[in-house]
Amino acid sequence: MLVEMKSSQALPACRHLDTALANAAMGSPDIAVLAGAFRALAPDLNWRHRTALEQPDSRSDMVMGASLLAPHTVYPDHHHPPPEIYVVLSEGDWFQQGFGWHIPGTGGLVVHPPGVKHAMRSGEAPLLAIWCLWPEPSSSIQYSRGQ
């Protein structure tokens, strides 16, 4: 079943969403259910291109989103004050300062502590992950490229 995207949401990476969701559906039963729920929501999501240095929509309590990387794409090294957690829905490589590159696998969790440089990259297949970060109530989210 193909996800139909609104023309305003048809970013180049979105053409890989069906493949990413199909790969996720072959994961554990819990990840397959999550992939099915994501597929149902996808037509109503507001997809946009975002760089590691661009701040997501502002909230003071929590920010949630999804990252979809086309095959052979690197999301560059960056760091930010709030901690961040990803639920990995498809294969890809993940970097964290102090640990190097690793492959958590479909259904894996990736946790980045505050201020730690991190990145991700896709291989032959697209990378799809759902993420959440939660800033301190008194802080604002500021991003900077890792050096």
User: Is 137 or 113 the better-scoring residue by pLDDT?
Assistant: 113
Could you tell me which residues are beta bridge partners of residue 119? 95
pLDDT for residue 59 is more than 80: no
Q: What is the pLDDT of residues 47-58, one digit of tens each?
A: 777 655 455 555
The 3-state DSSP class for residue 98 equals: coil
Q: What is the pLDDT of residues 60-119, one digit of tens each?
A: 577 888 899 999 999 999 988 889 999 999 999 999 999 999 999 999 999 999 999 999
Mean pLDDT of all residues in 17-29 = 94
Q: Which residues contact 106 (CB under 8 A, 6 or more apart)?
A: 23, 24, 26, 27, 28, 31, 88, 89, 90, 91
Cα–Cα distance measured from residue 131 to residue 74, given in angstroms and rounded to the nearest whole number: 17
* Domain 9-51+59-145 CATH (choose: 2.40.260.10, 2.60.120.10, 3.40.50.1110, 3.30.2290.10): 2.60.120.10
pTM over 0.85: no
pLDDT for residue 140 is more than 70: no
